[in-house]
Structure 1
Amino acid sequence: MSQHQILSTEPKPFVKWAGGKRQLIQTIDRHIPVQFGTYFEPFLGGGAVLLHLLGKNPEMKCRVSDLNSDLVLSYVTIRDRVEELITSLQTHAKNYHKNPDSYYYGVRESEPKSQIEKVSRLLFLNRTCFNGLYRVNSKGKFNVPLGRYSNPNIVNEENLLSVSRVLQSKKIQIICRDFAAVLSDAKKGDFVYFDPPYQPVSKTASFTSYTNKDFTYEDLANLVDVSEKLSDKDCKVLHSNSNSKEVRDLFSKEWKIVEVAANRSINSDSTKRTGQKELLIKNY
């Protein structure tokens, strides 16, 4: 594949992550400020919004972070060592196609120590597990069963090269840290996008366990507090969250709340997947 072909593909998320924003990207795009200084995204996840913005403006200054160290390691590895990662994924793909079941569960049980193998395992499991969703149990173990895919795209070389290329900008920092750290870095005119694990809309919908520390109501209240302080510093702040009373009630009248249609595929019951609304909340 020529360099030119690679350059022509817009980078897309390389993992499917709980609450991923790929389906909503056009809607969110309409609410991105026209001008801003540095872009901050403290719950990076699959990075749909970051990659979309970089696809349009590769020179954008960014400081993005996540508390999931395995995920941050994946971004750094794709940026710095993508060729080695692709080779490792090609090996996984070859072995998987020989015997999907036993190979999948063998990899799921494994605990590789090297950077390449750790990231390769995460991407392999993400591509082949049920519903393609990364999720760990209370002991921090990945526990999702094998998915039934006839031909999963395990390597996805073109996209990995595209993501690697766009992340190599000297203007991007990728860090593993808590969301509150953004307060000391963001300055007037900067833009902060918060996409935290969503507050459950109902008692049964509490899907926040893609790291083994749940994001609680207290965490959300703290996040709103951080947002108010960012607002006082004249930062532009945008939130995504569920259409729940808790979320609406925590934000003061100064914030604009926009309802958007969301088609979430996270509910295992497909009849409950459609017609959901979620919120975009902003101070500009």
Structure 2
Amino acid sequence: MKDIEIPRFVKWAGGKQQLMKQFEPFFPKKFKRYFEPFVGSGAVAFYIIQKFHPTEVFLSDTNEELINAFHVVKTDVEKLIILLKKHKSEHLADSKTYYYRIRKQNPAELPALERAARFIYLNRTCFNGLYRVNAKGQFNVPIGSYKNPDIVQDDKLRKISKLLQNVTLQVMPFEKILDLAKDGDFIYFDPPYYPLKKGNNFTTYTKDNFLEKEHMLLAEVFKKLSQKGCLCMESNSDTTFIHELYSDFNRRVVRARRMINCDASGRGEVNELVITNY
């Protein structure tokens, strides 16, 4: 069987593009609708859509910038490509000056199209592909040292746009999934991971950090969805805390290569946990 191409238009910490062959045995063989409350780069969703053809797909995240970018890729991809080409031209002319001028913009004051182009431009040119915000919600990653960053990616964007045509996109906290998912639905959770060691986690995708209490709430949501007859799968860190939270469920360890991390020691191959209720 031909390998499924998994396109992505953003770099994202914890992206699952390289893990699909390891994940394949863990996906349920049959389900109705697909939900992903921490969509990130969308790698798993794009694989699921092409492999299983769910009747409905719901992708969400609390990161407004990310979901807006998904919306624009879905609805206005050609105009987005034009704007990204302009960003690339300006960046190549004077990368440092241009990068910090664009970073300084307030995205909330921009129209959706310009906001999405800004988000993608910064994501493709910032240091190590990080998406990090400060307590005020302002993107604060410095420029990366790329000579010719891949800013436009027009073919990938067009493919992703087609994959998103029948997808529902929402800015939504993960616990709201309890109001939407029903018996027979498949939900994949890919939260910001519980840290392997204190201070080594990377959870600043939004100004609201994902801490221990959020992981405990997620475990409760996982249990409640299981009681509703939903098929649930989660990726998280291979730590005692996570093993204890999900002690009633199936847990398997996979090896993952991590390239995006604030700390260089957090890159390279690490163990990750795959949790399922089936």
What is the CA distance between 1:111 and its match in structure 2? 2.4
d(CA) in 2 for partners of 1:136 and 1:23? 26
1:1-284 pair list within 5 angstroms: 10-58=5-53, 60-112=55-107, 113-169=110-166, 172-253=167-248, 255-268=249-262, 270=264, 272-284=266-278
d(CA) in 2 for partners of 1:54 and 1:23? 17
TM value normalised by structure 1: 0.92
Aligned residues: 274
d(CA) in 1 for partners of 2:100 and 2:120? 14
d(CA) in 2 for partners of 1:23 and 1:98? 34
What is the CA distance between 1:234 and its match in structure 2? 1.2
Q: Secondary structure at the match of 1:30?
A: helix
Q: Secondary structure at the match of 1:238?
A: strand
Letter in 2 for 1:119: A
What is the CA distance between 1:96 and its match in structure 2? 0.7
Q: Secondary structure at the match of 1:248?
A: helix
CA offsets, 1:224-250, max 9 Å, x none? 111111111111100100111111111
Structure 1: 5+ residue runs without aligned partners? 1-8
d(CA) in 2 for partners of 1:209 and 1:184? 26
Q: 1:62 to 1:151 in 2, by over 3 A?
A: same
d(CA) in 1 for partners of 2:49 and 2:78? 21
TM value normalised by structure 2: 0.94
d(CA) in 2 for partners of 1:278 and 1:41? 18
d(CA) in 1 for partners of 2:55 and 2:19? 21
Query: Are the counterparts in 2 of residues 124 and 154 from structure 1 also a CA contact under 8 Å?
Result: yes
Query: Are the counterparts in 1 of residues 251 and 274 from structure 2 also a CA contact under 8 Å?
Result: yes
d(CA) in 2 for partners of 1:68 and 1:50? 17
CA offsets, 1:45-97, max 9 Å, x none? 11110011123345542111111111111111110011111111010001111
d(CA) in 2 for partners of 1:78 and 1:33? 29
Give the corresponding residue for 1:4.
none
Q: 1:133 to 1:28 in 2, by over 3 A?
A: same
Query: Are the counterparts in 2 of residues 191 and 237 from structure 1 also a CA contact under 8 Å?
Result: yes
Q: Secondary structure at the match of 2:254?
A: strand
Query: Are the counterparts in 1 of residues 33 and 54 from structure 2 also a CA contact under 8 Å?
Result: no
Structure 2: 5+ residue runs without aligned partners? none
CA offsets, 1:86-145, max 9 Å, x none? 111010001111111111111111225111111000000000011011111111111111
Of all paired residues, the percent bearing the same amino acid is: 41
What is the CA distance between 1:271 and its match in structure 2? 5.4
Query: Are the counterparts in 1 of residues 6 and 17 from structure 2 also a CA contact under 8 Å?
Result: no
Letter in 2 for 1:54: I
d(CA) in 2 for partners of 1:214 and 1:271? 21
d(CA) in 1 for partners of 2:259 and 2:229? 35
Question: What is the RMSD of the two structures over their aligned residues, measured on CA atoms?
Answer: 1.7
Query: Are the counterparts in 2 of residues 11 and 162 from structure 1 also a CA contact under 8 Å?
Result: no
Letter in 1 for 2:115: K
